[in-house]
Amino acid sequence: MSSSPVPGTGGAASEHDAGGGGFREPLLANCACDDGGFHDGALAAVVVANSAHGGGSRAKEKDAVKKAKDGYWVDVHHRPAVADVESGGGDRPLLFSNKKVTAALLYPYRVLILVRLVAVILFIAWRIKHNNSDVMWFWATSVVGDVWFALSWLLYQLPKLSPIKRTPDLAALRRHYDDLPDGGGSILPGIDVFVTTADPVSEPVLYTMNCVLSILATDYPVDRLTCYLTDDSGALVLYEALVEAASFAALWAPFCRKHSVEPRAPESYFQLEGMIYNGRSPGEFMNDYRHVQREYEELKARLEMLPSTIKERSDVYNSMKAKEGGAHATWMANGTQWPGTWIEPAENHRKGDHAGIVKIVQSHPSSEAPPPAEGGNNNNMNPLNFDGVDTRVPMVVYVSREKSPGREHNKKAGNLNAQLRVSALLSNAPFTINFDCDHYINNSQALRAAMCFMLDAREGDSTGFVQFPQRFQNVDPTDRYGNHNRVFFDGAMYALNGLQGPTYLGTGCMFRRLALYGVDPPPPRRSSDVEEHGHGGVTVDIDTNKFGNSVLFLNSVLAALKQERRIAPPELDEAAFLAEMTMVVSSSYDQGTDWGSSVGYIYNIATEDIVTGYRIHGQGWRSMYCSMEREAFQGTAPINLTERLYQIVRWSGGSMEVFFSPYNPLLSGRRLHLLQRAAYLNFTIYPVTSVFVLLYAFCPVMWLIPAEIIIQRPFTSYVLYLVGVVGLIHTIGVFEIKWAGIAWNDWWRNEQFFMIASMSAYPTAVLHMVVKPITGKGIHFRVTSKQTTTTAAADDDGDGGDDRYADMYEMRWVPMLIPPAVVLFSNVMAIGVALGKAIVYNGVWSAVQKRHAALGILFNVWIMALLYPFGLAVIGRWSKKPGILFVLLPLAFVVIAAVYIGVHFFLVKFLPFMVI
Ligand SMILES: O=c1ccn([C@@H]2O[C@H](COP(=O)(O)OP(=O)(O)O[C@H]3O[C@H](CO)[C@@H](O)[C@H](O)[C@H]3O)[C@@H](O)[C@H]2O)c(=O)[nH]1
Ligand SMILES: [Mn+2]
């Protein structure tokens, strides 16, 4: 396919400008997600507000930012005739448009990269030539460090040379797949949606159910969608919560459809303050809204009560059965014992030791009464008027895989694989999408958007997965701990999008089922090939060694290869079918098969996401990064520094594990694009950089010793070179910020977090790798804490501020925090002492010495600036007052300088031989 840029002319209708039948503009103008409820006044204002934008100035501001962002991108024009012949796609539509960075921005960006490359080479050559240092071992190590920095920067930078942005064309998808002229309904393919949860305690049930509800109410044909929740703890609470959520969905989903509500996660929706009504029935909105909100409050109350409801019920049953003796079981509402974990743990009923469970919570809509004909459906169950609205709810399935003591369960990857197999038996949709339980669908068009990429005429068939950016809703406005990660999500990922595609990021990713099964992409079709269904031209061994011992599962793989779109469960003797489903989630199913290696999500690596994406790319599939005007998904991020760093340990350690695995990007992945390979290589080695960063960070200590120690002479040229190469990184950054459409703050936070992690999380991960051959233990997948301290820490400091970010001010000291603390402390000391020395030796120091001192201090200040968020974390709740460090630090410098001067003159007088 060839393409030519024609700036300024519109390409295919984009998600944003799709008119009429397409996606409407975001419904919400002003979504300050404050805790405040929805007052009647506000509600009235909503309905009246209509086009008079509630949050006018903010909306305008947003518009301006958006324009500025898009101003740096131009359409890549597609010449249909060429592509159609090449792809053999015949009548298949183009479903997305491409944009690339404008030449005016891209070329200077590339030139700067080249300039820096040259500068770095000159710098290293200069250092080697001037091997003159007061501490030679340090000199040698730092030269090695500089070479490493250079290589790792290259691996990081080269894949970013030609970023691409792609916008799904939802209107075209509707035209070609939904509103078919002959009234044939929708021909969209099925999607199996997976939600994983580790347990109901570390991952609040309310979040998980909101995730499920956002799926059940999303805009996709209900009979093509199945929602699976896999509970890795086998807890009855989660099963019953799912039952409750599915039944609430019967009200929630039609309400969302009728009033075009966004987002379709009720907790977030009911927190919205102002919105423009965009549905079809403004007159009925207020009444419906109040009714649904009341019902939702009741659902929440029931969810909260579940543990005690279950406990009380179980107590009653247990006392009834007391005479028969036996353990204290946990009982389901229907009077049978729960096969999973019990409140009072017992043999075969405790965490890590329980049976596999598959329960259909809500059956497939086809097995129920057909949707109401126009004007129908005003039954007693539903007091609202849902005339003409599809009131059906997609199929909902609860899964908990079997756990046995002494077996490796492979954490999230194992969980997802079990889900993949169960779904193959039940619905076998050709596409799957998975969510962490703390993420929800924020844009009800998101699944359709992903489908635009999967079904596109050009690259649809070779697209293995479609990844969306991860966005977070609970991060403080200053993003103190760099949770938004925009440099990664909007920089690195758009960059890869111009190569073979973004990496898999763990959540919000739609997969082609076959790509997950380890099947190769189909060979490019030529125009002479006839349009055929099925995965033509690829041979796959479908055997039990590869896929395991379930005949039904093997059949499902065959069906998937033929692209038979089964979505309703096969008709089979129910008992036998249940037995087979339980078998595919048994804890031994994977053993001796390719699950976890060449089939499914990959095992034994803490970042199952990166490596699974790598495996799929290595087979030649491509992936797509899907950006939407209204964020597709939202999730939560750890806003507590300790938690955040644990997460980084897992990511960086997991990434390095990839290097020492069969998925090493230097050696494997036969069909990887060269620069894509470079990017993956960078992912697997970047934490090593921290070893050298740490070394440099300790340099300021030299101020604390009496002698002047110069690590590289001539020192002035050295510092100037450093300023040059570091300065160039930031100049390149200025360009990158522009095309990535991010703020300077995002960039700076990223720099700061790289530094903080380089002193804590990354070296910890490196250490893990070093001792791994001895201990045999990999990086532990520790579930990221999601507990909100909002209620616990209710404003006890009386400052009246909101405590939404209470968790941010709590730092748990753990060993990995020692190095940054030492660096921070020695920097503060060093600056203070340097100040004292400058005063004491005023008039004694030569001009050169003064210059050296000034340059040294420059370095200290730089490190302090990078460590700023860490400094805030250290002072805990004091950091609520912005800018406090700017008072505290100078104070500390002055005190230290004074102490230094005092000690100095004391020594001069009494112990002259010890003068410092
Ligand atoms: O034994 C386990 C452990 C975790 N999970 C699930 O895995 C998901 C992610 O776990 P979390 O602790 O929230 O990890 P994060 O640090 O938030 O996850 C990021 O990093 C992970 C890789 O390290 C990716 O898998 C995630 O998608 C990505 O959001 C959650 O839904 C968990 O329920 C399980 O199902 N079983
Ligand atoms: Mn998470």
Please write the tens of the pLDDT for every residue from 319-368.
988 777 667 899 999 999 999 999 999 999 999 999 999 999 999 998 65
What's residue 60's pLDDT?
56
**Ligand 1 center from residue 573 Cα (angstroms):** 36
| Residue tagged active-site, from 75, 169, 223, 232 | 232
> With 60 as the cut, is the pLDDT of residue 318 above it?
yes
In order of 2, 34, 238, 270, 285, the CA distances from 295 in angstroms are 55, 21, 20, 12, 15
Most ligand 1 atoms within 8 A of CB, residue of 208, 468, 783, 788 to mutate: 783
Question: Do the beta carbons of residue 30 and residue 54 sit within 8 Å?
Answer: yes
Whose CA is closest to atom 30 on ligand 1?
A: 436
Non-local (6+) Cβ contacts of 130 within 8 A are: 712, 713, 714
**Ligand 1 center from residue 783 Cα (angstroms):** 6
Question: 272-276, 619-623, 800-804, 904-908 — which is least confidently predicted?
Answer: 800-804
pLDDT interval class at 87 (50, 70, 90): very low
Average pLDDT over residues 528-554: 74
Question: 147-156, 458-467, 728-737, 881-890 — which is least confidently predicted?
Answer: 881-890
Active-site residue 178, yes or no?
no
Contacts 24+ apart (CB under 8 A), 46-51: 46/274, 46/275, 46/276, 46/277, 47/277, 47/282, 47/285, 47/286, 49/274, 49/275, 49/276, 49/277, 50/276, 50/277, 51/276
Q: What pLDDT digit, counting tens, does each position of 65-75 carry?
A: 566 567 899 99
Looking at every residue in the chain, the average pLDDT score rounds to 86
- How many degrees, rounded to 5, is the angle at CA 308 between CA 307 and CA 310? 70
Active-site residue 609, yes or no?
yes
Token representation of residue 665: 């990007």
For ligand 1, whether the C-beta of 249 sits within 6 Å is no
The response to whether 411 counts as a known ligand-binding position is yes
Distance CA 60, CA 522 (A): 46
**Ligand 2 center from residue 169 Cα (angstroms):** 29
Beta strands 395-400 and 225-231: pairing type? parallel
N-to-C CA span, the chain:
71
Give the DSSP H/E element, type plus range, for residue 225.
strand 225-231
Please state the atom number of ligand 1 nearest to the C-alpha of residue 654. 23
Rg (CA), the chain: 30
**Ligand 1 center from residue 619 Cα (angstroms):** 25
pLDDT interval class at 855 (50, 70, 90): confident
User: For the chain, what are the domain ranges?
Assistant: 103-161+662-787+805-911, 188-317+338-367+389-522+542-637
Average pLDDT over residues 666-680: 96
Give the DSSP H/E element, type plus range, for residue 826.
helix 818-840
Please state the atom number of ligand 1 nearest to the C-alpha of residue 610. 22
What DSSP string runs through 393-457?
Answer: --EEEEEE--B-TTS---HHHHHHHHHHHHHHHHT--SEEEEEETT-EESSTTHHHHHHHHHT-T
Four-point Cα dihedral 901, 907, 908, 909, nearest 10: 110
For ligand 1, whether the C-beta of 783 sits within 6 Å is yes
> With 70 as the cut, is the pLDDT of residue 232 above it?
yes
Average pLDDT over residues 652-668: 95
What's residue 64's pLDDT?
58
Question: Do the beta carbons of residue 288 and residue 47 sit within 8 Å?
Answer: no
Q: What pLDDT digit, counting tens, does each position of 556-590 carry?
A: 999 999 877 667 666 667 888 889 999 999 999 99
Distance CA 394, CA 813 (A): 46
For ligand 1, whether the C-beta of 436 sits within 6 Å is yes
Question: 298-302, 314-318, 592-596, 853-857 — which is least confidently predicted?
Answer: 853-857
For ligand 1, whether the C-beta of 411 sits within 6 Å is yes
Distance CA 406, CA 707 (A): 59
The response to whether 129 counts as a known ligand-binding position is no
Q: Which DSSP state fits 13?
A: P
What's residue 534's pLDDT?
59
The response to whether 459 counts as a known ligand-binding position is no
| ipTM exceeds 0.90, yes or no | yes
231 DSSP β-pair partners? 197
> With 50 as the cut, is the pLDDT of residue 76 above it?
yes
For ligand 1, whether the C-beta of 198 sits within 6 Å is yes
The response to whether 590 counts as a known ligand-binding position is no
Average pLDDT over residues 141-156: 96
What's residue 97's pLDDT?
95
For ligand 1, whether the C-beta of 471 sits within 6 Å is no
Distance CA 890, CA 901 (A): 16
**Ligand 1 center from residue 422 Cα (angstroms):** 20
Average pLDDT over residues 615-638: 96
| Residue tagged active-site, from 231, 438, 609, 746 | 609
What's the number of CA atoms in the CB half-sphere (13 Å) around residue 665? Answer: 26
Q: Which amino acid, one-letter code, is at 588? A: S
Q: What pLDDT digit, counting tens, does each position of 378-417 carry?
A: 444 567 899 889 999 999 999 999 999 999 999 999 999 9
CATH of 188-317+338-367+389-522+542-637 given 3.40.228.10, 3.90.550.10, 3.65.10.10, 3.50.50.60: 3.90.550.10
Question: How many distinct helices (H) and strands (E) make up the chain?
Answer: 29, 16
Whose CA is closest to atom 36 on ligand 1?
A: 412
Distance CA 883, CA 872 (A): 9
> With 60 as the cut, is the pLDDT of residue 46 above it?
no
For ligand 1, whether the C-beta of 896 sits within 6 Å is no
What's residue 565's pLDDT?
67
pTM across the whole model: 0.90
193 DSSP β-pair partners? 227, 433
Average pLDDT over residues 844-853: 87
Residue found by looking up tokens 């509600």 in the block: 43
> With 70 as the cut, is the pLDDT of residue 670 above it?
yes
Ligand nearest to the CA of 504: 1
What DSSP string runs through 880-901?
Answer: GSTTHHHHHHHHHHHHHHHHHH
What's residue 842's pLDDT?
86
Percent of all residues in the chain with a pLDDT value above 90, rounded to a whole number: 66
Distance CA 103, CA 502 (A): 23
The response to whether 387 counts as a known ligand-binding position is no
What DSSP string runs through 141-209?
Answer: HHHHHHHHHHHHHHHHHGGGSS-EEEEE-HHHHIIIIIS-TTS----PPPEEEEEEES-TTTTTHHHHH
Q: What pLDDT digit, counting tens, does each position of 675-724 carry?
A: 999 999 999 999 999 999 998 888 877 777 777 788 888 989 999 999 99
Distance CA 763, CA 621 (A): 34
Average pLDDT over residues 288-300: 97
Residue found by looking up tokens 């199996």 in the block: 192
Distance CA 514, CA 563 (A): 10
What's residue 63's pLDDT?
61
**Ligand 2 center from residue 436 Cα (angstroms):** 6
Question: Do the beta carbons of residue 397 and residue 228 sit within 8 Å?
Answer: yes
Four-point Cα dihedral 519, 520, 523, 529, nearest 10: 0
For ligand 1, whether the C-beta of 203 sits within 6 Å is yes
What's residue 62's pLDDT?
58
In order of 727, 739, 856, the CA distances from 722 in angstroms are 8, 26, 12
Non-local (6+) Cβ contacts of 122 within 8 A are: none
Residues in the chain: 916
In order of 113, 122, 723, 730, the CA distances from 119 in angstroms are 10, 5, 11, 14
What is the distance, to the nearest Å, from the Cα of residue 784 to the centroid of all Cα atoms in its chain? 12
Collapsing DSSP states into helix, strand and coil, what is residue 730?
helix
Question: Do the beta carbons of residue 62 and residue 729 sit within 8 Å?
Answer: no
What's residue 777's pLDDT?
81
